[in-house]
């Protein structure tokens, strides 16, 4: 059984020892220090609750509460005070204390207040955990919605989102687009089977991602056709396309040789006509792809 770990800050040796003994008898793990400075030297992530006197030498309990909450917002703090003025208690609560108890106090009241704060902390941490799990699940759902299930490339849904974001962020944006088409893909499926065809598609996307990296995106446009969209102004789209072609040609992950043909075009996307502008670039890239196919395949042709 893991005992709740409590950090006690009390400069009075008499009161500090008394609190430590009481808490240990009630099945709490206790670390007692005599100053706020000592408390701040502790790894506060190890603790489940802080119990601090407000009147301390050096850094006061008020300041300590504020410092702790700034870095550990979900670590409960109970202030111990002999001050009875409402203003002082209000100050402690406003600076980070979650509760307070006045000296002299009964053991029953102290334990009850500690348990309330520990339960609250438990619920808070569970809620944070559930929220993180929900965020991860939502992130995964969104990824699935914009990702081609077979290859891991983006799909047309993401392509539209991608273009929309470009329009929001830029009045004018230069982009390069190349269409990649697997040469003789039907023959690959007919000869080696569709499972091997799927492996080829996945290998192609892996190669594209490894070469394009953060310079742009890879989109499955349909069947064995993929788009490489380069948005890095400093990147040479033709060199990237040629590297992809060569890497495919030299790929040893399959028992047979396979190649690709690429058509490349560049242009300016404007925020007002981003989709129309992209269609023009895409059409030109498609025309260049036709030229690559016509001239023997396994080549890159640019506008």
**Residue numbers annotated as active site:** 224
Q: What does the radius of gyration of the chain's CA atoms come to, in whole angstroms? A: 32
How many CB atoms sit inside 10 A of residue 30's CB? 19
Phi and psi of 268, rounded to 5°? Answer: -110, 130
Strand, helix or coil at 165? helix
- Name the residue among 153, 180, 155, 199 with its Cα closest to residue 240: 180
Distance CA 79, CA 293 (A): 78
The edge-to-edge listing of strands for the beta sheet with 260-270 is: 216-222, 225-230, 172-182, 260-270, 300-302
Buried b (16+ CB within 10 A) or exposed e, 110-145: bbebbeebbeebeeeeeeeeeeeeeeeeeeeeeeee
First-residue to last-residue Cα distance in the chain? 71
Element (H, E) at 136: helix 107-145
Distance CA 94, CA 87 (A): 10
Task: Give the distance from CA 38 to its chain's centroid.
Answer: 35
Q: 265: alpha, beta or left, given left = phi > 0 and alpha = psi -120 to 50?
A: beta
- Name the residue among 70, 32, 71 with its Cα closest to residue 52: 32
Residue 18 CB contacts under 8 Å (≥ 6 apart), including other chains: none
């Amino acid at each position: 059984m893991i005992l709740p770990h409590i950090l006690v800050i009390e400069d009075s040796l008499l009161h500090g020892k008394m609190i430590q003994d009481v808490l240990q008898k009630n099945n709490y793990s206790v670390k007692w220090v005599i100053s706020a400075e000592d408390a701040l030297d502790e790894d506060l992530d190890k603790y489940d609750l802080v119990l601090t006197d407000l009147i301390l030498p050096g850094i006061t309990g008020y300041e300590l509460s504020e410092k702790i909450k700034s870095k550990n917002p979900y670590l409960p703090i109970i202030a111990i005070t002999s001050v009875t003025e409402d203003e002082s208690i209000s100050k402690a609560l406003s600076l980070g204390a979650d509760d307070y108890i006045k000296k002299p106090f009964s053991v029953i009241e102290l334990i009850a207040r500690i348990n309330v704060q520990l339960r609250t902390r438990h619920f808070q941490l569970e809620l944070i955990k559930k929220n993180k799990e929900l965020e991860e699940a939502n992130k995964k759902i969104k990824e699935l919605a914009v990702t081609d299930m077979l290859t891991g490339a983006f799909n047309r849904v993401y392509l539209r989102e991608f273009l929309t974001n470009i329009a929001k962020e830029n009045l004018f944006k230069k982009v390069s687009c190349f269409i990649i088409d697997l040469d003789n893909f039907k023959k690959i499926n007919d000869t080696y089977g569709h499972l091997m065809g799927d492996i080829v598609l996945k290998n192609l996307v892996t190669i594209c991602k490894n070469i394009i990296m953060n310079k742009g995106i890879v989109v499955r446009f349909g069947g064995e056709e993929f788009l490489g969209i380069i948005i890095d102004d400093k990147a040479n789209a033709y060199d990237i396309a040629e590297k992809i072609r060569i890497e495919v040609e030299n790929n040893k992950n399959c028992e047979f040789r396979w190649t690709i043909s690429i058509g490349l075009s560049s242009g300016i996307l404007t925020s007002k006509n981003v989709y129309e502008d992209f269609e023009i670039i895409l059409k030109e890239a498609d025309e260049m792809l036709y030229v690559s196919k016509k001239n023997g395949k396994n080549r890159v042709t640019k506008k």
